Structure 1
């Protein structure tokens, strides 16, 4: 099953996403279609000696060698009762292609980000493994945190403050930056890395709606002071309530707020999806976890 990225949500910034629903053991999970390159039947896997327990091995898909991550191992599930129904979801995130083994794939749903609840309202166990929860058709679909799964296996694929320290001592900047990022872990890492780079006047929000409400509040108070209060906005793409594309589109369509430079910082910045950020007016787009590239773009914009 190939996934046609060009045909997905052609109108960028609609605050909608399409989710592929799949099973791992007895659980029902979802993945944003924008992360999926294709879904294929399973094939023999070549083991990798001394690899992480969650890594099943490698496969060759046409001219590429892909690592296979077994989600049954990641989630501690009982293996599939009928392995013939297993599938590989070939995903691209953080500029890395990975094949995830699942117990079966059912269908694609289109939903609004407003329908997604933060897992913080549920158990801690769910919170650590998912980015959101959506109730649909009398069932609960958990949106897995694939980026965290990859970083847990290979920490070098995450944001590291040591990378910034290699830039040497930098002057403190009084420029004020707004960041919309739903992951508490990434908010903490961004605070550490950007502060190390000299940008410590940062206001964080958990989703695009909170960031939008903040900008609207500043504009309503005194739109002449806007540029003194916000010199730059950095936004993730996948966020409950309001995603980064919709946030960017609303800002750039506003006669006052459109002056704010916007950097999209997301694991979904790929060659196939770059056009979506351009369509909504983003000034720059940087793929996670390229923190040095993000700092360079901040330097240029402010």
Structure 2
């Protein structure tokens, strides 16, 4: 995978991404290359008694023990007809390495975030497993919500209000925060936790473009800094991703003084440079909500 990460992935803030497309059952799905460490043949599995039904077992990859999640079970497809030909996508998200069992991995596609649409409200089954639909010339590909798949298996990897109670409630309500986050579930969790910590003046946007359009409307106002003291953004979002949003903010003379914090499952040692290159003031890995609040306390104007 290292060779595939050259080119576009060395260039931050272009509002583009590379997606690996694969099959599970009769469905066609995608995963952001930035989450992928390698793709391998299925290794011998060690069963885990009393584990979650979507966990197939454990593999040993070099010196690491990695949990294997069977995506056919997650997506309620029949078992693979040719299990010996399946592949394991070794992914890293939320500072956790996981192997996802898939079928028929195809080539990498370079696309723009504006080619990705959120599933509409009628497609609730799609919404429960997907973060977006990629519109390609000859097909539509679902971007799976891998973070949600992991959290449903292990809720401790998610965000909870209890995590911030250790901080105690203090006077923070004078700080106005704008947040770009495409997941409705995470918007609710982030809102609940920030309010618990005392930040109750929060304005949410469901993608980076929506937040940018709002900033574009108010950027020339003399009282700009009284309207927003800090911005938090996810990375993976339809229409405009967090890197491109951050880059546009930091390149604008009227907006660049506003602190921008990237809050994403993609904050790893290998990818930290991407946020730094576009001018992010801080980068925090989900689900470290306590650290996010501590950074907001430090940076909010």
Q: TM-score range by the shorter chain?
A: over 0.9
Name 1:245's counterpart in structure 2.
Answer: 243
Q: Which residue of 1 aligns with 2:282?
A: 284
Displacement of 1:6 in angstroms is 4.9
RMSD value, Cα: 1.2
CA–CA distance in 1 between the matches of 2:135 and 2:254?
A: 37
3-state SS, counterpart of residue 79 of structure 2: coil
CA contact (8 A) 1:133 1:141 kept: yes
Deviation at residue 7 of structure 1 after TM alignment: 4.5
Task: Give structure 1 stretches of 5+ with no counterpart.
Answer: none
Aligned to 1:162: 162
Q: Distance in 1 between matches of 2:248 and 2:41?
A: 40
Give the Cα separation in 1 of the matches to 2:279 and 2:211.
Answer: 17
Verify the 8 A CA contact 1:3 1:33 in the aligned structure 2: no
**Within 5 Å, which residues of 2 pair with 1:100-179?**
100-120=100-120, 122-179=122-179
Identify the residue that residue 261 of structure 2 maps to in structure 1: 263
The answer to whether the Cα contact below 8 Å between 1:3 and 1:38 also exists between their aligned partners in 2 is no
Q: CA deviation at 1:5?
A: 3.6
Moved over 6 A (4+): none
Q: Is the 8 A contact 1:5 1:272 kept in 2?
A: no
How far apart in 2 are the matches of 1:171 and 1:116? 39
Q: Distance in 2 between matches of 1:87 and 1:3?
A: 19
Post-superposition offset of 1:84: 2.4
Offset of residue 101 of structure 1: 0.3
Aligned mates of 1:190, 1:133 — CA distance in 2: 24
State whether structure 2 residue 182 is matched by structure 1 residue 182: yes
Give deviations 1:252-298, integer Å, cap 9, x for gaps: 00011101100000000000000000000000000000001101100
Equivalent positions of 1:63-102 (< 5 A) are 63-102=63-102
Structure 2 distance, partners of 1:96, 1:249, is 27
Unmatched 5+ stretches in structure 2: none
1: CA distance, partners of 2:144 / 2:3: 19
TM-score by length of 1: 0.97
Question: Are the equivalent residues in 2 in contact too, given 1:5–1:273 (CA < 8 A)?
Answer: no
1:83: how far off? 1.6
With over 3 angstroms needed to count, the CA separation of the structure-2 counterparts of 1:5 and 1:20, relative to structure 1, is same
* 1:34 CA displacement: 0.2
> Are the aligned partners of 1:58 and 1:66 in contact in 2 as well (CA < 8 Å)?
yes
Structure 1 residue 173, shift from structure 2 partner: 2.3
Query: How many residue pairs are counted as aligned between the two chains?
Result: 300
